[in-house]
Structures are given as structure tokens and as C-alpha cells.
Chains A and B, each alone.
Chain A
């Protein structure tokens, strides 16, 4: 192997790793706030990417309608759970968030979609759609069981993944899609060529890491979100609205997922079920970071990307085997490092 190949692999690994880092961050975020291990994170990626790719061809993606449908279900649940204390403000909020928001996004998509729509508008539309889906996903699937164990939440999360992935096939078909690049800028440094796309990947990843780290470490809202995860009841007693915290976390996670998707869809072809594997690799990073540390997660994600790049060069057949086996020693170390406290279950 010569230095050039090594540099190429490294660059490739770091670019993919940055995407995994973004996803890892979202997973850490959601887990830290809601204790949900968000398997459907991968679907946010594909939904974002493929919605963007479809919009780029001038079509309206089915996800826009899904957002409206999920909004209706969420509206029903909102009213049902609040049936004993219905008042105007509550209903107004439910109508605004669950009905007006998704319907507006859907109508906007129909109005703006076309072959000549600028890239920035398409990106904004894709992000809005996926954000709505993420928000309603929490409302529908997780909010009613928010008090249960991590395990129940995990199984529910797997259920969401199955449903969303199946819907992905309906919306986007079995064929893979690619989206247009965000910019055609390219820099050359020695043998390496940096495209505008990969620079955007690096920039956004670093930006999100710093932002999330500052938000959770230093802002009151961020601390309130973390408090919700540790003790829902305690958080409620001190006046934190725990359901809102969960919704914010899912909203952010779906946004981050969709952004990652939009960032990679010009680089690689994405299929409706690609998200699962990408998401899981984000997971490996998130787990290495112990599901709590943002900087550690980011470093781990880069490591995963690099390992993947090198193993696809040396043993391309066993790339996935190597990457997923990588997690086991980490899990063991994590378990050993975890304090030996008794978990009170059920």
C-alpha cells in the first residue's frame, strides 16, 4: 500500500465517519433525553435523502403525505389523552402543531415542487417534512410509553423502524436514488481532492458537535432535557415539561438524520433500506461514546468510518462483519466500566 491509497482511504473514512458522527450525536441526544434507543434514526436519513432526491427530479415524495397522516393520528392522541382537561389553548396548540404544520408543509411541497426548484428550497422542504415525521413519531409511538423501561422502548423503536422502512419502500420504490450535489466547489491538496460536498460534511458535523455540547452542557433548556432522562417524575416536579422535551429531542434527531441523508445522497446511491445500516454504524459510535459523550461519540464515529474504509479495501466482503464485530469489545468495556448498581426494573 502506498501513501496515496492510504490517504484516500483515510479521507473516505473520515467523510463517512463524519456522517456516522452526526447520526451518533442524534442517537446520544435522543437517548439522553428520552431513553429511547432510536433504531429508526436510519429511516430519518433515507427519508431526508430520498425526499430531497425526489424533489430534485420535480416529484412530490410520499413522505409529505405521511407527515400529514401522522399529524392526524397525533392530533387524535393529543385530544384523547387530554380529554379530561380540554381547554382552548390546548386544542389550539394541538391544531397548530398536529394539523396546520404538516398540512402547510405538504401544501408548500406541492406548490413548490418542480424540475426547476432551487436546491436550497428542496433541502428546506425535505428537512421540514422529516422534522414533522420525527416529531409525530415521538408523539404517537413513544410518548404513551415514555415511563416504561429502556427495553420496552427499544422494542417499540424496532417496531417503528420496521414500519418506516416498509413505508420507505412504498414511497421511494426499490430502486436507489442519487441527489444533486450541494455545490461543485473542489479544492486540491496534494493528491487529495476535497469536494464542496465533503467540506460541507466536515463543517456541519463539527458545528453540530459544538452546538449540542454547548446546548446540553451550558444552557438551562439543555440541562432540563437531560434531567428528564434521568428522572421523569423529578423533572416534572421541578416544572420541566417532559413530553415537550421528548418532542424537541425527536425533532432535532430527525433534522440531523435528514441533514446527514442530504449530505450523502449526492456521494452514494441510497436505497429505501440503506438507512438501517448507516444508522447502526452511528450507533456503534454512540455506544463507544457511552450514549452520553458528544465529543467521544464523534471521535468514535471517525474511527468507525476509517476502519470501514480500510476493511473495505483489504477484505471488502467482510466489511460489515468487521465493523459490527468491533462493537463487542467496546460493549464489554462499557459494561465493566458502568457502576455496579442494581437496576430496578418493571
Chain B
């Protein structure tokens, strides 16, 4: 990303602030607090805003970071710098243990779970003898470089803000990568991401740990800044506040975390110092205003301040240039060219008493376009879900290239070269077409999270994007490559899904109603593309309601009705089949 210049300017400004003569030391303290809060909020941006996992318990991870260094430096005399990796490690390990449980929680159970362990940990901190119970631990040594001790707020300021800037850059790098796309796809549900090989539980755990480590870093800095640690700043109230910061700033934006921290910390300070004058000496008035502001914010500007601000600034995002000459090595294929790609043998799926797919058998051979048709509710999409591993068959066998897949997860099925699109489009609407399509090539890249953060993934990343751009060109959407997927028409979104599936380098393409929402010309172009793919050696299994389209295109048609296969044959044979006519038009026809 060519956002370096604003970043450097921001870093310079931040570096110069403490040097301004006559700046009140109190302002520096505020900036220190902003930096500390921004670190935690940045983790929440990744976790909640981008990954869709809401956590009210981040403050507890600050606690792990702070208490680790507090205990090690005061009781064992370890140097503060040596405790940094330990603090991060402890937060990370705590995150692994809590995360294994937490990320499995679905829907609203997840935030509730974080509230529960947030409170449990707070009480644990305040009851454990070696953590000093409610009084906490004081007398923590300051950070020091040689003989130079960072005692004043103005000196630790640099440690804090260097940490903020480094974290921001690493986080932005992470988001703009193969792993980042997988994380950004999480919020929209896991089915689409898994269909392209993303291990969603692992991706969720990764962001969970990442957010916890950032919080741990903040806690470590906090302990050496305050030179003391007690349970209060790591309790549920603080956890709520961090989430508030992320929402205020704009939960999907890394810099929103810094902005949000600035707004909230300053606001809190102002409220705490002025409200008592207005309303008399009562304490806690700021929480009232805070709560009311939070509710108002959600009602009036649910996406936060940062996107609002960005929309009003003159600079536009720089268009990403993709080097189309780079090629991605083809997916590893089974050595033999099998004649039968996909075989269903009495595949059956029951939901309670309903048999959605009733002992269906058919196959798809190499270089063949097979259409799966049938009235609504015939079990076509369920069949797709059985083949791609989204659902597990109740009985029967499904094999791809001779390999049994009826119990394989989606990530394994796609590795065999089966790529799909969805009846209800599953794109990430706030990612560009290019980024969405690149998710399809997920398994063909190999850079991990750490490599992405350190920008060691660029060669791999450029090849992935080049492949994505090539597939977008192939389906004829090059003009829309930089638009957000959500801004496209539904028909175009379906085409984007096809490009994404092509990025897998599949041998079998499963298309669920690809022509729905397309205009006549677009349908013809799609048909031409599919024929071209077949002639290039790919097979296609498609579900479609447009009979003209199907009859024209398919080599063979399988007809389902109420979950049962009623006919199979060439388009000509199917058109004349009395069973099919009966299913579509009723008995009298």
C-alpha cells in the first residue's frame, strides 16, 4: 500500500509533540493513555471489526501482560525488557486456551462468553495472593536503556507510540495479504471461505491471539508507565470501554482505533474534570454520559468516525497495479487423467423427517457439462452441499477422482479440484472484486501471517493477485476489478463468484444458478465461457432454472424431483421425457 507518506508524517508529528516547548505535561500523559488504549483497540479492530468476533474481555489480556511483568520484575528482579517477550507469550498462551473455547462459540454466545471470562479473570486477579489481591503490585521498575530511565510520561511516550506505530503497520500489512483476506472473509460467514480452503477456526484463533498479544503489549507498557498494577483497569468495565473505542473510531479500520482512542480518552478526561462542576461533586457521572453517547453513536453513526472522516478528505485510495505477467504454478493434480471426475452413489440426505436428497446416483465425466435441474425444493443445492462437504451425507457414497469425500470437510474437497459458486452470492461486499477473487487462489499461495506482517509475502502475493486479475479478465469484468464487490449488480456478483472459483484451477466447476439475474447477452457470454472451459479440459456441473440456457449448453441433464432422480439423459431425451414434463407441468400435461 502506498500509504507511507501520511504514515511518516504522522510519525514525525507524534515524535515532535513532546519537544514542543511549554506543552503541558498533562497532555503527554493523555497521549500516553491514548497510545495504550489504541493498542488494545487495534486488536479489537482486527478481532471485532474485521473478523466479526466481538470481545468484551480484552482488558483481561492487558492484565496478563501487566501482571506478568509486575511479578517478574518485582519478585524476581528480572529486567523489564526481558519480561516483554514473556508478557506477550503469557497473553498469547492465555488467548490460545480461552480462544480454543471462545472462537467455537457462535452468534451472540461469543460476546457473552467473553463477558463471562472477562469477569472471571478480573476476580481471579483480585483474589490471587501472588498478584497482591485487590491492592495489586506496586514498585514496578521503569523501562531503562542503559542508565537512562524512562521515568517521566514524556520519555515512556516514545516507547508507547513506537509500539503503536509498529503495531499499526504490522496490522495493516497483515490485512493486505492472503491471510488478511481470509480474516476479512470471516465476518461474512464461514461457508464461502471454507469452500476455498480457508481453515476458519484457525483463522479465528489467529486473530484472537493477535488481539490478545496487542493487549498484552499494552498491559506491559501500562505496568511500566504506572509502575503499578491493580485489578481495576483490567476489569469488565475497561473491557467495555475498549470495545467502545473501537466502535467510535470505526470498528473496521486500523487507524480508527487510534482516532477512537484519542476521542474517548480525551472525552473521558474532559467529562471527569468538568462534569462535577456542572452537577456537583458526584463521581461516575462520566459513565452516564458515556453510556448515553454509546447508544446515540450506534443510532446515528454505526460505522464510526474514521470512515466518515476519510470520506471527507481529498485523497483517494491508490489503484493497485497488478503485474499480469506473473504466473502461479498450477494446482497439484492427481497423476492420472480419470474418466469419471465425480460419482454419486445412492447419496442421501435427511433433515429430521425430510429426505432432501433421496438415494441419488449420477456421475460427471471429464470434459463434460452436466446440468442438474428440477423444480424448487428438488434437492439440487443440497446435492451441491453434499459434494462440496458443506453437509455430510446421511448415507451413500460420493467420490471425486475415485477418492471418497462424503465425510471430507470443504477444505479437503476443494484441494481435489472441485470449486463452486453459491446460489445466494457469498462475496465479501466491502472487499474489491480483485480481493474477493484472490480468495479463490487461497490454497495456491503459502505465505503465513508472520510473513505477511513483515512483508515477506510480496512475491507470493503478487502472483496470487496476477492470477486473480487473469481470471477476472477471463470472465470479462476487468473494468470492475477495483470496485467493491457489494457495489456490483447481482448478475455481475455471480460472475465474480465464477472467477473466484476459477482461481482454484479446478477440474470440476460447480455452478449454482449462474445465469440468474443475467441479461440475454450476458447469458450468451457465460455459455460461451463455459463451453470454452470444457474444451480446455474442465468439467462443469450446474444447477439452473433457465431451460433455454441449459438445453443449449449441457451435454447431459440430470433431473431431480422431491429429492429423487427421475431422469437422466441428453437435452433432447429430457425434453421428451414424460416424467420430467409431469414434474414441471403437472400430471395433465
* Residues of chain A having any CB pair with chain B under 8 Å: 37, 140-141, 144-145, 148, 150-152, 154-156, 158-167, 169-170, 277, 280, 283-284, 287, 291, 317-318, 320-321, 324-325, 327-328, 331-332, 334-336, 338, 342-346
Residues of chain A with a CB closer than 8 A to B450's CB:
none
**Nearest CB on B from A132, distance (A):** 18
**Nearest CB on B from A202, distance (A):** 27
Identify which of B188, B243, B287, B289 gathers the most chain A CB atoms within 10 Å of its CB.
Answer: B287
With A and B bound together, what is the CA distance between A327 and B287 in angstroms?
27
Whether B287 and A166, one on each chain, are in contact in the complex, defined by CB atoms closer than 8 angstroms, is yes
With A and B bound together, what is the CA distance between A208 and B551 in angstroms?
62
Partner of A332, one of B104, B107, B188: B104
With A and B bound together, what is the CA distance between A148 and B299 in angstroms?
10
Whether A331 and B302, one on each chain, are in contact in the complex, defined by CB atoms closer than 8 angstroms, is no
With A and B bound together, what is the CA distance between A156 and B124 in angstroms?
28
Whether A325 and B109, one on each chain, are in contact in the complex, defined by CB atoms closer than 8 angstroms, is no
Whether B54 and A328, one on each chain, are in contact in the complex, defined by CB atoms closer than 8 angstroms, is no
With A and B bound together, what is the CA distance between A151 and B105 in angstroms?
14
Whether A163 and B291, one on each chain, are in contact in the complex, defined by CB atoms closer than 8 angstroms, is yes
With A and B bound together, what is the CA distance between A344 and B192 in angstroms?
12
**Nearest CB on B from A184, distance (A):** 36
Residues of chain B with a CB closer than 8 A to A344's CB:
189
Mark each residue of chain B from 555 to 579: 1 if its CB lies under 8 Å from any CB of chain A, else 0: 0000000000000000000000000
Residues of chain B with a CB closer than 8 A to A170's CB:
282, 284-285, 288
Whether B119 and A144, one on each chain, are in contact in the complex, defined by CB atoms closer than 8 angstroms, is no
Residues of chain A with a CB closer than 8 A to B426's CB:
342
Whether A150 and B112, one on each chain, are in contact in the complex, defined by CB atoms closer than 8 angstroms, is no
**Quick check: is B187 within 8 A (CB to CB) of the other chain?**
yes
Contacts A151-B54, A165-B287, A343-B107 hold; do A158 and B294 have CB atoms under 8 A apart? yes
Whether A345 and B120, one on each chain, are in contact in the complex, defined by CB atoms closer than 8 angstroms, is no
With A and B bound together, what is the CA distance between A245 and B334 in angstroms?
59
The residues in B between 413 and 459 inclusive whose CB is less than 8 angstroms from any CB of A are 426, 429
Whether A166 and B111, one on each chain, are in contact in the complex, defined by CB atoms closer than 8 angstroms, is no
Whether B288 and A163, one on each chain, are in contact in the complex, defined by CB atoms closer than 8 angstroms, is yes
Partner of A324, one of B109, B117, B283: B117
Whether B291 and A164, one on each chain, are in contact in the complex, defined by CB atoms closer than 8 angstroms, is yes
With A and B bound together, what is the CA distance between A273 and B285 in angstroms?
14
Partner of B106, one of A161, A169, A277, A338: A338
**Nearest CB on A from B430, distance (A):** 9
**Quick check: is B115 within 8 A (CB to CB) of the other chain?**
yes
Apart from A155-B244, A159-B294, A343-B106, what 16 extra A-B contacts exist at CB < 8 Å?
A141-B295, A145-B299, A150-B107, A154-B54, A155-B243, A156-B294, A162-B291, A165-B287, A280-B119, A284-B116, A318-B123, A318-B127, A324-B123, A325-B117, A338-B106, A338-B109
With A and B bound together, what is the CA distance between A189 and B267 in angstroms?
58
Q: For the complex, would chain B's binding face be called helix, strand, loop or mixed by DSSP majority?
A: helix
Partner of A144, one of B189, B283, B294, B299: B299
With A and B bound together, what is the CA distance between A256 and B430 in angstroms?
43
Whether A161 and B291, one on each chain, are in contact in the complex, defined by CB atoms closer than 8 angstroms, is yes
With A and B bound together, what is the CA distance between A170 and B288 in angstroms?
10
Task: Please list 5 pairs of residues, one from A and one from B, whose beta carbons are closer than 8 Å in the complex, sorted by A's number.
Answer: A152-B302, A154-B108, A162-B288, A328-B101, A345-B187
With A and B bound together, what is the CA distance between A303 and B56 in angstroms?
25
**Quick check: is B292 within 8 A (CB to CB) of the other chain?**
yes
**Quick check: is B240 within 8 A (CB to CB) of the other chain?**
yes
**Nearest CB on A from B42, distance (A):** 18
With A and B bound together, what is the CA distance between A102 and B159 in angstroms?
54
Measured CB to CB, the nearest residue on chain B to A319 is B123
With A and B bound together, what is the CA distance between A144 and B106 in angstroms?
26
Q: For the complex, would chain A's binding face be called helix, strand, loop or mixed by DSSP majority?
A: helix
With A and B bound together, what is the CA distance between A327 and B54 in angstroms?
17
With A and B bound together, what is the CA distance between A280 and B119 in angstroms?
10
Residues of chain B with a CB closer than 8 A to A317's CB:
127
Measured CB to CB, the nearest residue on chain B to A165 is B287
**Nearest CB on B from A24, distance (A):** 13
**Quick check: is B290 within 8 A (CB to CB) of the other chain?**
yes
Measured CB to CB, the nearest residue on chain A to B279 is A170
Whether A166 and B302, one on each chain, are in contact in the complex, defined by CB atoms closer than 8 angstroms, is no
**Nearest CB on B from A28, distance (A):** 13
Whether A155 and B298, one on each chain, are in contact in the complex, defined by CB atoms closer than 8 angstroms, is yes
Contacts A151-B54, A162-B291, A280-B115 hold; do A287 and B299 have CB atoms under 8 A apart? no
**Nearest CB on B from A228, distance (A):** 17
Residues of chain B with a CB closer than 8 A to A140's CB:
295
With A and B bound together, what is the CA distance between A167 and B292 in angstroms?
11
Partner of B127, one of A167, A284, A321, A327: A321
Partner of B294, one of A155, A167, A335: A155
Closest 8 A/B residue pairs (Cβ)? A163-B291, A162-B291, A159-B294, A166-B288, A324-B120, A166-B287, A320-B123, A159-B295
With A and B bound together, what is the CA distance between A37 and B104 in angstroms?
20
With A and B bound together, what is the CA distance between A163 and B188 in angstroms?
32
Measured CB to CB, the nearest residue on chain B to A141 is B295
Whether B298 and A338, one on each chain, are in contact in the complex, defined by CB atoms closer than 8 angstroms, is no
**Quick check: is B113 within 8 A (CB to CB) of the other chain?**
yes
The residues in B between 122 and 141 inclusive whose CB is less than 8 angstroms from any CB of A are 123-124, 127
**Nearest CB on B from A344, distance (A):** 7
Whether A150 and B108, one on each chain, are in contact in the complex, defined by CB atoms closer than 8 angstroms, is yes
Whether A166 and B284, one on each chain, are in contact in the complex, defined by CB atoms closer than 8 angstroms, is yes
Identify which of B108, B111, B124, B191 gathers the most chain A CB atoms within 10 Å of its CB.
Answer: B108
Whether B105 and A332, one on each chain, are in contact in the complex, defined by CB atoms closer than 8 angstroms, is yes
**Quick check: is B180 within 8 A (CB to CB) of the other chain?**
no
Whether B127 and A342, one on each chain, are in contact in the complex, defined by CB atoms closer than 8 angstroms, is no
With A and B bound together, what is the CA distance between A165 and B240 in angstroms?
14
Residues of chain A with a CB closer than 8 A to B291's CB:
158-166
Residues of chain B with a CB closer than 8 A to A158's CB:
56, 240, 243, 291, 294
Whether B109 and A162, one on each chain, are in contact in the complex, defined by CB atoms closer than 8 angstroms, is no
With A and B bound together, what is the CA distance between A284 and B119 in angstroms?
12
With A and B bound together, what is the CA distance between A337 and B191 in angstroms?
18
**Nearest CB on A from B49, distance (A):** 11
Whether A345 and B52, one on each chain, are in contact in the complex, defined by CB atoms closer than 8 angstroms, is yes
Residues of chain B with a CB closer than 8 A to A167's CB:
288
Whether A151 and B123, one on each chain, are in contact in the complex, defined by CB atoms closer than 8 angstroms, is no
**Nearest CB on B from A303, distance (A):** 15
**Nearest CB on A from B409, distance (A):** 12
Residues of chain B with a CB closer than 8 A to A165's CB:
284, 287, 291
Whether B299 and A162, one on each chain, are in contact in the complex, defined by CB atoms closer than 8 angstroms, is no
Whether B240 and A332, one on each chain, are in contact in the complex, defined by CB atoms closer than 8 angstroms, is no
Whether B120 and A169, one on each chain, are in contact in the complex, defined by CB atoms closer than 8 angstroms, is no
Partner of B120, one of A148, A325, A336, A346: A325
With A and B bound together, what is the CA distance between A331 and B116 in angstroms?
10
With A and B bound together, what is the CA distance between A317 and B120 in angstroms?
12
With A and B bound together, what is the CA distance between A145 and B301 in angstroms?
11
Whether B109 and A334, one on each chain, are in contact in the complex, defined by CB atoms closer than 8 angstroms, is yes
Residues of chain B with a CB closer than 8 A to A154's CB:
54, 108, 111
**Quick check: is B247 within 8 A (CB to CB) of the other chain?**
yes
Whether A331 and B109, one on each chain, are in contact in the complex, defined by CB atoms closer than 8 angstroms, is yes
**Nearest CB on B from A177, distance (A):** 17
Whether B112 and A162, one on each chain, are in contact in the complex, defined by CB atoms closer than 8 angstroms, is no
